[in-house]
Structure 1
Amino acid sequence: MDTLYDSAWVLEQIEQIAQFSQDKPNITRLAFTPADHQARNYMSKLMENCGLNVEIDAIGNIIGQFQPADVESHVPVVATGSHLDTMPSGGKYDGVLGVLCGLAAVSRIRHRGEVKHPLKVIAFAAEESSRFNLANMGSKAMAGLAHIPTWKRLKDHNGVSLADELEAMGLLIERLATAACSQNSIKGFVELHIEQGQVLAQRKMNIGIVDTISAPTRLKIIVTGTAGHSGVTDIADRQDALVSAAMIVLSVRNIAAEYEYQGAVATVTALHTYPGTANVIVDRVELWVDIFGTVHENIVDILQEIKDAISSITEDYGTPAAIDVVTSEKAIKLDAAINRIIEKNCRQLNLRSMRIDSRTAHSAMNIARIAPSALLIIPCKDSINHNSREYTASYDIAAGLDVLTETLYQLAK
């Protein structure tokens, strides 16, 4: 083959995609922004250059397919992929690595031949929640989990709607259901991702094989107080929404600390104050809370403790609060058979592997609801993620790419 699809090739492409950012020298590619479209166009052309047929589905997922000449089109596919969009000031590797390693792996297999299933590489759209406050939209849509009435109402902080952004791409939100894959259309899905923790590095492991992916429960909390002049309103007479919000932040942190040893966490991820002027007491605060865990009962307990804490705080300070559970999903077990294949491949490649749970959401979590799915992770230096200092070594990428290639090949042959 003309191109050597190795870790050096993957790293070269990572650097190219890192140039597409809306706030250089940082890396920010919020979903469907001009920077994201630049990355999407680059990836589409890259897939075509690797010999794949490329299509865009109703949510904007980029799907590159290798169709072996002697394999009929209705045969279930073997798929891989991740995402291209980032968090604000994110990193080079999160998501992008999984798409590029998937493309490199399929390109390797394409030149091997002798496979009995088509292979797909998917760059899922809008997997990060940084723009529309809803994560994994591309994989949700593909899994048939899009709730169109809710998604029609989604807007970013500038008031731009998801529906408008899709329409600008020639897509209609009313047709999102057409992005869903039918049951049995995917034989297996394998995602590669950097670790968003430090277990692999601490244990000196090359590969993490994920058994369970925790799913997010996300809350939107509105605390309401009374505006007043910050210089003349007596402390005892105030209904300061920000004071209540500060107490809620501390309560969420303390509740989370009680459950962390059980693999669950909760975090206040965003806080917005209104009217937001220098000399006015805050009369409205919007908080966002993320809860992650692999045991559903723990998430339910955390949610109830947070609700109880909010009720007590807002009653004490005279600041009513409204709690909206924006999303509530259950953790999901990944496919045991594919995980055994990954484990065997690691042994044959003389790589150290371990079973692990993921406390962050991934595309595989949604695809697992319609097809056997797996998630393999590789170390990330100092567990720094969603940050410009995010880094994964070339030898770790090479290990992940080799395991991914062999796993996809064995599923497709």
Structure 2
Amino acid sequence: MINKERITTHFNVIRTVSVIPGIPGINRLAFTDPDWQARAFLIARLESLGMKVREDSFGNVIARLEGKNPNAPAIMVGSHTDSVPMGGHYDGLSGIVAAIEALQSIQEDGIELDCPIEIVLFMCEESSRFGVATLGSQAMRGELTPEFLKERTDKDGNTLYDVLKSRGLSPDLVGSDPYTSPLKAFFELHIEQGSVLEEAGCPLGIVTGISAPTRYKVSIHGTANHSGATPMPLRRDGLCAAAEIILDVEATAKATNHPAVVATVGVIDAVPGVMNVIPGEVTLGIDIRSISAEAKKQVVDHILNNIQHIAQKRDIVIDTYEMSKQTPLPIAPEMLTFMEKVAVDNGYPYMLLPSGAGHDAMNWGDYTKVGMVFIPCKNGISHNPAEHIDLDDIVLGARYLESLLKAASSDSFQW
């Protein structure tokens, strides 16, 4: 039986290592001490379930429990451990806690599943530290290289390559040791990070598709000059060019509704950043997302084309660098049918909805059948100290996850 008190204890223990005095919210940035301490606690919990635990060259943790048929393809379930700076406590962590609780409940009921179960703790899902999201799952799929790791830096100038080395990991092997074991399915439970479930009064969401980002770094090379002595017609104001780009990003995304695309300029860095100097060098960070790869590409192409028009009009050199381009994942119809049947058979209330946020699950869609479960978060708030869930919702989510594992693991069930 799913144990609410045990779930609460897990959250409370990890909260103690995730709070930095004087800084609001949860601060488990990837590979920092809080993230590593939470990881160590979770590894101990996985081992207490009799799981065999290993880590890959990127630090992802893969815990395996054999089933009656150890040669059968496994079911993978999990989520990420890291948070954004000054973030919430339930993003990512809910999926790991629910997976551990679901498996423990199965064991306490004396049930041995037919196929192996693997619980995975993905490292560095958030883009907050190194600018690219879902890095752990990409590493497991063999999509990263040591050269890429050396190019990614945090705000303090630390490369991802060096950070991995500092944790005793093997960045030179990243890309050469992908996950290759056969999988029957992958499941991830996550908080919704939106308000659809809460507004509908529904405690469970079955995700129909996962949005994925394309991200650009835009470098605007204006000319810094005296703010009083430089006439308006002679200016090459980098920040004014940036303002045009920002408004164009918003307008382009707003004009694309079917399917919806969202676009955000979340980074603005203007140099020298003083009142009496015309801004010269300006850097923007642009994030463009959709559950439709085609719609997202159309918006990206339109924005990049308009950036060059702005550059020509203002006689300013503007460079664009693609930081990442990930592919949205429509959930397979047979997975949706399966998840709905399990919900109906067990009397779980649910609704179907897309995911506007990207998740590690989207990187497994070409490898196995992927299913994703949402639980509500209060007021739809996430990536914020105010992020909150009703523990009864995660109890129900863990029960549903347990039912999914039981049904999908059976030798008699095939896609």
TM-score normalised according to structure 1 size:
0.93
2:337 is the alignment partner of 1:333: no
- Which residue, 137, 144, 159 being the options, matches 2:142? 144
Is residue 30 of structure 1 aligned with residue 29 of structure 2?
A: yes
Q: 1:411 corresponds to which residue?
A: 408
| CA shift for structure 1 position 304 | 1.9
Residues 355-364 or 141-150, more deviating: 141-150
**Cα separation, 2, equivalents of 1:318 and 1:10:** 59
Instruction: Name the amino acid aligned to 1:376.
Output: V
CA contact (8 A) 2:134 2:359 kept: yes
1:150-299 alignment runs, 5 A limit = 150-182=148-180, 185-260=182-257, 262-299=259-296
Q: Which runs of 5+ in 1 are unaligned?
A: none
Secondary structure of 1:190's aligned partner? strand
Aligned to 2:413: none
Report Cα offsets for 1:144-202 as digits up to 9, x if no partner.
Answer: 222443233111121101111111122221211354211x6211110001112222222
1:301 to 298, 307, 328: 298
1:237 Cα deviation after fit: 2.2
Pairing 1:374–2:387 present: no
Asked if the contact 2:291/2:330 (under 8 Å) is kept, the reply is: no
> Pairwise mapping of residues 350-389 of structure 1 onto structure 2 (< 5 A)?
350-389=347-386
Matching of residues 76-95 of structure 1 within 5 Å: 76-95=73-92
Structure 1 residues 261-270 or 375-384, which shifts more? 261-270
SS in 1 for 2:256: helix
Q: CA deviation at 1:22?
A: 4.3
Deviations 1:238-257 (A, max 9, x none): 21111111221111111111
Give the SS at the match of 1:312: helix
Bigger drift between 252-261 and 125-134 goes to: 252-261
Distance in 1 of aligned mates of 2:46 and 2:226 = 59
- Cα distance 1:345–1:8, how it changes in 2: closer, same or farther (>3 A)? farther
Q: How many residues align?
A: 407
- The answer (yes or no) to whether the contact 1:220–1:323 under 8 Å persists in 2 is yes
Paired residues of 2:348 and 2:400 also in contact (CA < 8 A): no
3-state secondary structure, aligned to 1:80: strand
> Which sections of structure 2, spanning at least 5 residues, go unmatched?
411-415
Post-superposition shift, 1:265?
Answer: 0.7
CA RMSD of aligned residues (A): 1.9
Cα deviation 1:123-148 (Å, max 9, x = unaligned)? 10000001111110111111222244
CA shift, 1:36, in A, is 1.3
d(CA) in 2 for partners of 1:135 and 1:365? 11
1:397 pairs with 2:394: yes
Partner of 1:122: 120
* Separation (CA, whole Å) in 2 of partners of 1:260 and 1:15: 41
| 1:312 match | 309
Whole-angstrom CA distance in 2 between matches of 1:370 and 1:148: 23
Percent identity between the two aligned chains: 32
CA distance in 2, matches of 1:344, 1:14: 30
TM, length-normalised to structure 2 = 0.93
Partner of 2:95: 98
Q: 1:336 & 1:261 partners in 2: Cα distance?
A: 20
Pair 1:412–1:32, CA change in 2 (3 A): same
